[in-house]
Protein backbone atom coordinates (compact mmCIF):
# COMPACT_ATOMS: atom_id res chain seq x y z
CA UNK A 1 0.00 0.00 0.00
CA UNK A 2 1.34 3.46 -0.91
CA UNK A 3 2.01 5.79 2.01
CA UNK A 4 -0.39 8.50 0.80
CA UNK A 5 -2.95 7.71 -1.89
CA UNK A 6 -5.18 10.06 -3.81
CA UNK A 7 -7.44 9.76 -6.84
CA UNK A 8 -5.46 11.61 -9.55
CA UNK A 9 -8.59 12.88 -11.30
CA UNK A 10 -9.03 15.01 -13.25
CA UNK A 11 -12.21 16.30 -11.68
CA UNK A 12 -13.99 18.59 -14.16
CA UNK A 13 -16.74 20.56 -12.45
CA UNK A 14 -18.84 23.59 -13.38
CA UNK A 15 -18.50 26.87 -11.53
CA UNK A 16 -20.54 26.89 -8.36
CA UNK A 17 -20.36 23.13 -7.85
CA UNK A 18 -19.29 21.39 -4.67
CA UNK A 19 -16.42 18.94 -5.06
CA UNK A 20 -14.76 16.59 -2.59
CA UNK A 21 -11.34 14.95 -2.67
CA UNK A 22 -10.30 12.00 -0.56
CA UNK A 23 -6.96 10.70 0.57
CA UNK A 24 -5.86 7.64 2.53
CA UNK A 25 -2.62 7.16 4.45
CA UNK A 26 -0.84 4.00 5.51
CA UNK A 27 0.52 4.66 9.02
CA UNK A 28 -1.95 4.96 11.88
CA UNK A 29 0.77 6.73 13.92
CA UNK A 30 0.75 9.73 11.55
CA UNK A 31 0.17 12.95 13.45
CA UNK A 32 0.08 15.92 11.09
CA UNK A 33 -2.02 16.35 7.99
CA UNK A 34 -2.24 19.08 5.39
CA UNK A 35 -3.71 19.99 2.04
CA UNK A 36 -1.44 21.85 -0.37
CA UNK A 37 -2.42 23.49 -3.63
CA UNK A 38 -0.14 23.46 -6.67
CA UNK A 39 -0.73 25.51 -9.79
CA UNK A 40 0.78 24.41 -13.09
CA UNK A 41 4.58 24.87 -13.12
CA UNK A 42 4.51 26.48 -9.66
CA UNK A 43 5.58 25.33 -6.23
CA UNK A 44 3.13 23.74 -3.77
CA UNK A 45 1.53 26.17 -1.33
CA UNK A 46 -0.05 25.31 2.00
CA UNK A 47 -3.84 25.48 1.69
CA UNK A 48 -4.81 24.32 5.15
CA UNK A 49 -3.88 22.05 8.01
CA UNK A 50 -6.28 19.25 8.89
CA UNK A 51 -7.32 18.87 12.51
CA UNK A 52 -9.01 15.94 14.23
CA UNK A 53 -12.14 17.98 14.89
CA UNK A 54 -12.36 19.08 11.27
CA UNK A 55 -11.77 22.65 10.19
CA UNK A 56 -13.15 25.16 7.78
CA UNK A 57 -11.61 28.11 5.96
CA UNK A 58 -14.14 29.98 3.89
CA UNK A 59 -15.34 27.66 1.11
CA UNK A 60 -12.88 24.93 2.11
CA UNK A 61 -13.54 22.24 4.71
CA UNK A 62 -11.04 19.58 5.75
CA UNK A 63 -11.92 16.43 7.69
CA UNK A 64 -9.79 13.72 9.30
CA UNK A 65 -10.98 10.22 10.12
CA UNK A 66 -8.22 8.56 12.13
CA UNK A 67 -10.05 5.23 12.45
CA UNK A 68 -10.23 4.87 8.67
CA UNK A 69 -6.93 6.70 8.02
CA UNK A 70 -8.72 8.99 5.66
CA UNK A 71 -8.59 12.75 4.96
CA UNK A 72 -10.98 14.77 2.87
CA UNK A 73 -11.18 18.24 1.35
CA UNK A 74 -14.50 19.77 0.39
CA UNK A 75 -14.70 22.85 -1.83
CA UNK A 76 -18.05 24.63 -1.99
CA UNK A 77 -19.15 27.12 -4.66
CA UNK A 78 -16.18 26.32 -6.91
CA UNK A 79 -14.48 29.22 -8.68
CA UNK A 80 -12.48 29.16 -11.91
CA UNK A 81 -9.47 30.15 -9.79
CA UNK A 82 -9.77 26.92 -7.79
CA UNK A 83 -8.43 25.01 -10.81
CA UNK A 84 -5.18 23.44 -9.60
CA UNK A 85 -3.72 20.20 -8.28
CA UNK A 86 -4.52 19.46 -4.63
CA UNK A 87 -1.88 17.51 -2.73
CA UNK A 88 -2.65 15.46 0.35
CA UNK A 89 0.29 15.63 2.76
CA UNK A 90 1.00 13.53 5.84
CA UNK A 91 3.68 13.40 8.50
CA UNK A 92 3.72 9.68 7.85
CA UNK A 93 6.06 8.50 10.60
CA UNK A 94 4.36 10.39 13.36
CA UNK A 95 7.34 12.19 14.89
CA UNK A 96 7.23 15.94 15.21
CA UNK A 97 10.30 16.56 13.08
CA UNK A 98 9.99 13.91 10.41
CA UNK A 99 9.57 14.89 6.77
CA UNK A 100 6.17 15.22 5.18
CA UNK A 101 5.07 12.72 2.56
CA UNK A 102 3.07 13.99 -0.40
CA UNK A 103 0.43 12.23 -2.41
CA UNK A 104 0.50 12.44 -6.22
CA UNK A 105 -2.22 15.05 -6.19
CA UNK A 106 -5.74 15.38 -7.53
CA UNK A 107 -6.30 17.65 -10.51
CA UNK A 108 -9.31 19.93 -10.44
CA UNK A 109 -10.60 21.89 -13.42
CA UNK A 110 -13.46 24.29 -12.79
CA UNK A 111 -15.17 25.21 -16.03
CA UNK A 112 -17.41 28.17 -16.85
Partner 1 sequence: GAGVSQTPSNKVTEKGKYVELRCDPISGHTALYWYRQSLGQGPEFLIYFQGTGAADDSGLPNDRFFAVRPEGSVSTLKIQRTERGDSAVYLCASSLNGVGGYTFGSGTRLTVV
Positions touching partner 1 (CB under 8 A) are 4, 8, 32, 34, 36, 42-46, 49, 87, 89, 96-105
The string over 28-39, giving b where at least 16 C-beta atoms fall within 10 Å of a residue's C-beta and e elsewhere, is eebebbbbbbbe
Nearer to partner 1, 14 or 43 (CB): 43
Nearer to partner 1, 58 or 99 (CB): 99
Kindly state the smallest distance separating residue 64's Cβ from partner 1, in Å.
Answer: 15
Kindly state the smallest distance separating residue 112's Cβ from partner 1, in Å.
Answer: 26
Kindly state the smallest distance separating residue 31's Cβ from partner 1, in Å.
Answer: 10
CA dihedral sign, ordered 38, 43, 48, 50: positive
**DSSP secondary structure letters along 30-90:** ---EEEEEE-TTS--EEEEE--TT-EEETTEEEEEETTTTEEEEEE-S--GGG-EEEEEEE
Kindly state the smallest distance separating residue 3's Cβ from partner 1, in Å.
Answer: 10
Nearer to partner 1, 78 or 106 (CB): 106
Nearer to partner 1, 19 or 87 (CB): 87
Rounded Cα gap, residues 26 and 11, in angstroms: 24
Amino acid sequence: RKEVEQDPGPFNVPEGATVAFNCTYSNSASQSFFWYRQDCRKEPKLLMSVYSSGNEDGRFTAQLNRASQYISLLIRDSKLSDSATYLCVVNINGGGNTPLVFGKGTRLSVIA
